Amino acid sequence: MAFGRSRPAPAGPRRPPVEPVTLKILVAGGFGVGKTTLVGAVSEIRPLRTEETLSEAGRPVDDVSGVESKTTTTVAMDFGRITLREDLVLYLFGTPGQDRFWFLWDELAQGALGAVVLADTRRLEDCFAAIDYFERRAIPFAVAVNCFEGAARYPDGTVRSALDLDPDVPLMLCDARSRDSVKEVLASVVEHALALVAPRPDALPAPAAT
Ligand SMILES: Nc1nc2c(ncn2[C@@H]2O[C@H](COP(=O)(O)OP(=O)(O)O)[C@@H](O)[C@H]2O)c(=O)[nH]1
Ligand SMILES: [Mg+2]
């Protein structure tokens, strides 16, 4: 589950250095829902954006009729890092939005602890594909509704049933531009994912009676 190691955080005067655990979290959701914004809001490193220009390879699948001058397609991938706690560092990977980059999702999903699915209540259906993807692969995820101004607010139950979420999937509101808000979302994903992978104390056999 650990995705890599990073350098120990600087030690305090008396405390031994802490080697943080590093975990990989995916950030998914429809186009324009705020993935790049979310990664940028929390990342301690300048978010890396990989721009790939695919012209020949994309020609058969990119419908450029009417926009014949558009001979390139750009895919941007977001990557960032955040120290959630002294001993816990997250690497964030934004998933590409375009349908034909699903093969990249499989690469990105390797070793991921969990995922955030960003949703916009004005077009909830844009995140169905991401939810399906994580459900099928049993990758723990939380849904964060990015609260754009002007988007209607709905009760949790309404959003849950529209997305057909299992009751244990965390659902929260967030502002992808706010570091604190995004940190809360990430903490919730980590907590949810760890609860699923770690044996629960109440799942342990009861001690034998003496
Ligand atoms: N008002 C508002 N705008 C946002 C929020 N999150 C993202 N945006 C804007 O929405 C647009 C799309 O966001 P972006 O992060 O690029 O979406 P992506 O396609 O999922 O990466 C950008 O212009 C952002 O500035 C938000 O929480 N509130
Ligand atoms: Mg983006």
Across the chain, mean pLDDT equals 83
User: What confidence tier does 78 reach under pLDDT thresholds 50, 70, 90?
Assistant: confident
Give residue-wise pLDDT tens across range 107-157.
899 999 999 999 999 999 999 999 999 999 999 999 999 999 989 899 999
Atom number, ligand 1, closest to the C-alpha of residue 30: 20
Is residue 207, in this structure, part of any structural domain at all? no
27-44 in b/e burial notation, b at 16+ Cβ within 10 A? bbbbeebbbbbbbbbbbe
Residue 28: give its domain's CATH number: 3.40.50.300
Residue to probe by mutation, ligand 1, list 31, 33, 37, most atoms within 8 Å of CB: 37
Q: What is the 3-state secondary structure (H, E, C) of 154-169?
A: CCHHHHHHHHCCCCCC
Atom number, ligand 1, closest to the C-alpha of residue 176: 27
Give residue-wise pLDDT tens across range 54-70.
555 555 555 555 544 44
Residue nearest to atom 11 of ligand 1 (CA): 32
Is residue 187, in this structure, part of any structural domain at all? yes
What is the residue whose two structure tokens read 């301690």?
Answer: 44
Task: Provide the number of structural domains found in the chain.
Answer: 1
Is residue 184, in this structure, part of any structural domain at all? yes
Secondary structure of residue 138 in the 3-state scheme: coil
Is residue 203, in this structure, part of any structural domain at all? no
Distance CA 186, CA 193 (A): 11
Distance CA 62, CA 71 (A): 9
34: DSSP letter: S
Is residue 77, in this structure, part of any structural domain at all? yes
Give the domain range for residue 103: 19-59+73-197
Atom number, ligand 1, closest to the C-alpha of residue 78: 21
Residue nearest to atom 3 of ligand 1 (CA): 148
| DSSP-assigned beta bridge partners for residue 73 | 54
User: What confidence tier does 201 reach under pLDDT thresholds 50, 70, 90?
Assistant: low
Is residue 84, in this structure, part of any structural domain at all? yes
Q: Which ligand is nearest to the CA of 49?
A: 2
In 3D, which of 176, 193, 170, 79 has the Cα closest to residue 120?
176
Flag whether pLDDT at 40 surpasses 60: yes
Is residue 64, in this structure, part of any structural domain at all? no
Secondary structure (DSSP) of 84-132: EETTEEEEEEEPP-SGGGHHHHHHHHTT--EEEEEE-GGGGGGGHHHHH
Between the alpha carbon of residue 55 and those of residues 70, 96, 128, 172, 188, the distances in Å are: 9, 17, 28, 39, 40
Atom number, ligand 1, closest to the C-alpha of residue 147: 27
Distance CA 131, CA 72 (A): 29
* Binding-site residues, ligand 1, Cβ < 6 A: 29, 31-37, 97, 146, 148-149, 175-177
Is residue 179, in this structure, part of any structural domain at all? yes
Could you tell me the distance, in angstroms and rounded to a whole number, from the CA of residue 117 to the centre of ligand 2? 13
- Residue 96's pLDDT is 82
The pTM of the full predicted model, rounded to 2 decimals, is: 0.79
